Amino acid sequence: MAISASIQALIAGEQVTGSKLSSKLRDELLTEGMLLVTSHGSRKSYRARDTEALKRFLIDKDENYRILEVNISDSRASMATETGNSKLVMVRSCPGFPVNSYEPIGCRLNGEPFMVKPQKGSFVFVAEWETFTIPKDVVVIGIENMENFRMIRNQRVFFEKYLQAHKLPKKALFVSRYPQSTDLRRWLCTIPNHYLHFGDFDLAGIGIFLFEFQQYLGAERSSFLIPSDIDSRLKSGSGKRYDEQYCRFKDIKSDESDLQQLIDRIHHERKGYDQEGYIMFEY
């Protein structure tokens, strides 16, 4: 049995749109609690809650999935040399994550100086993330939406005011999980810098922060960006988004008072708000 591209993507920790998964398998994985769901308007995408648990479930379900036990440390190059087919082994050819900044930040990569200073309209992709280090006086801001990530200069005033108000470092390095994988989280676990999560203001967005970042980094090293005007913004948010997420995330809670207040407010308004609303197009 050939393993579908969508299953390979889930095993690799990537996000998969609902249309690429068979409805029968998707519903089974959801019932077993194997998938996290993210809604984008009327569209939904899925990601494995635990890739190793998902792999074991599939193997136990059908012995044809035992190909997943192939040693994925073999590179595509070596596999292609031996068999002529680099697609036989599921290895991401380009690990890592993108980084961005609106001011120069002197970092190091492979032990050498590495200045992060993308020109407007671009960003940098760090593939060998294990050797990537940043100054201690830099806050790392993770941005879920790629549009927000690309347009950080349009949000510079917003970020600078927030960092100042919350007494966080003035210098900010922006990171993204695109493509979805655990590389970013694994890198964050190796550095001492504070992580500030900027995502959608809905139950699923908070769930991503709690279960994919804070439970690994701890409350002392991570926080959820909550704008001062979020209460008024939620009033004009999406009720449909809230309804779609309610059953799966209705019991989500946080020990952080500010974040719990946001959860309570979302339940009160029965709406969610997209982070794209904070992009100032006239800047």
Residue 136's identity, in one-letter code, is: K
CATH of region 5-88: 1.10.10
Shared fold status for 5-88 and 97-278: no
For each of the chain's 283 residues, which pLDDT tens digit applies?
A: 456 888 888 888 888 888 888 888 888 888 777 888 887 777 888 988 888 778 877 876 775 665 565 444 444 444 444 445 444 444 455 689 999 999 999 999 999 999 999 999 999 999 999 999 999 999 999 999 889 999 999 999 999 999 999 999 999 999 998 766 789 999 999 999 999 999 999 999 999 999 989 999 999 999 999 999 999 999 999 999 899 889 888 999 999 999 999 999 999 999 999 999 999 854 3
pTM of the prediction? 0.70
Chain centroid to Cα 67, Å, comes to 27
**Side-chain-side CA neighbours of residue 172 (13 Å):** 26
Q: What single-letter DSSP state applies at residue 4?
A: P
Using CA atoms, how far apart are residues 176 and 149, in angstroms rounded to an integer?
A: 7
Using CA atoms, how far apart are residues 130 and 96, in angstroms rounded to an integer?
A: 9
Using CA atoms, how far apart are residues 224 and 227, in angstroms rounded to an integer?
A: 10
Q: Tell me the domain boundaries of the chain.
A: 5-88, 97-278
Using CA atoms, how far apart are residues 99 and 175, in angstroms rounded to an integer?
A: 5
97-278 classified as CATH 3.40.1360? yes
Both tokens of 123, joined, read 């960003």
Using CA atoms, how far apart are residues 171 and 42, in angstroms rounded to an integer?
A: 37
